[in-house]
Amino acid sequence: MSHPIDVMIYGLGAIGSFYAFILNRSERVRLTVVARSNYDAVCQNVRLFSPLRLFANLVKSPDEASTMDYIICANKAIDQHRVPAVLKPAVDPDRTSIVIIQNGVGNEEVFREQYPRNLIITCVLKDRMDRWQVDEKTDYLLICQTWVGATQTRPGVVNHTKSENLQIGTFPNPHLDQTIATKRLNEFAALLEHGKTRFQICDDIQQKRWEKVVWNAAWNSLTTLTMVDTQTWLHSSPDAEPFTRKLMFEVITIARACGVPLGDDLIDQQMAKIKAMPGIGSSMQVDRKNGRPMEIDAILGFPLQKAKEHGILAPYLESLCVLLRAIDQKLRAAL
């Protein structure tokens, strides 16, 4: 019999719950889930993908768990610099692979700094942010081609519609033998395949991340600052679309400076895509409406940091980042 695989999910929201269910389909997986703000509700009412029930080791903190083969970070990319230390009790430098399923770019940096010997598998939820229709009661999310995999309608209760589509790849590590990295990536992919969810292994995963952040930097920030949907924004003035294009071009320029070869036609592709959709909001806009901290650093802050490092002027990106941080500070103060 194959050896058991110890997996921890850090962050039991909608996405974390979805992949907990997927991975728990394998008899080889010994699953631990870390539920933080929703721990009590999950203990009382774990209804994942009704009517199925998730059987796993439920804890409040990694302190309560042993070391893992895989740690999946499905938490929002907020205060990312604090997470590696929180996970330390579950990390074995010679065994643990860290899997990042989050929005933004640069998410891997803080983990690489603290865990230089560990494999990092970085993931992009394909098109998850491309299309949002928000029901005020349930925060139901609709993506471009299919319904998003899971929605936490209230603490501890998750509804499932159709599967996510995940793109996965490894973050470079000169301290780790490539054969070992490939073996661990393939092992994780086999668990996803066994769980019957869609995914692709991508050699150019950083390009996928930056392509998505071009989209998110535009539509998350603009819908959140204006509190209108995308179509309302685009039709608000003759300057709205040129403004958006200049913002996207700044992010593309920054990506290229970081060695990520984004194409010249990406802006046209993304503008055509958004124009073909009805007016939509964004996850960041929903967070603002609900008084929650926002994923500013991963979506806008890291690209802006890289722009400054490379001597690139990015006035549109910088202005939006500064304004959003002021709003985020207000939201945090009210918590």
- Contact status, residue 166 vs residue 197, Cβ threshold 8 Å: yes
pLDDT of 38 reads: 59
Rounded average pLDDT per 10-residue block, the chain, 335 residues: 89 85 92 77 54 66 95 94 96 97 95 97 71 35 29 48 78 94 97 94 95 97 98 98 98 98 96 96 94 96 98 98 98 96
| Token pair recorded at residue 47 | 């209804």
Residues 18 and 158: beta-carbon distance below 8 Å: yes
Cis peptide before 51 (omega within 30 of 0): yes
**What pLDDT does 126 receive?**
72
Q: Please tell me the pTM assigned to this model.
A: 0.86
What's the start-to-end Cα distance of the chain, in Å? 49
| CB-based contacts of 185, cutoff 8 Å, min separation 6 | 119, 121, 168, 169, 170, 201
Q: What is the pLDDT of residue 12?
A: 82
pLDDT for residue 48: 44
pLDDT score of 138: 33
**Domains of the chain and any CATH numbers:** 5-203 (3.40.50.720), 206-333 (1.10.1040.10)
pLDDT the model gives residue 121: 98
Residue-level pLDDT at 174: 93
Q: Which pLDDT score is estimated for 276?
A: 96
pLDDT the model gives residue 16: 87
Residue 42: predicted pLDDT: 62
Which residue from 274, 292, 227, 2 is spatially nearest to 129, judged by alpha carbons? 274
- Taking a C-beta distance cutoff of 8 angstroms, is the pair 255, 104 a contact? no
Question: Which spans in the chain are helix H?
Answer: 14-23, 39-44, 83-87, 109-114, 178-194, 205-226, 230-234, 240-257, 266-275, 283-289, 296, 302-309, 315-333
Q: Give the pLDDT of residue 30.
A: 94
Give pLDDT, residue 214.
98
Which pLDDT score is estimated for 14? 77
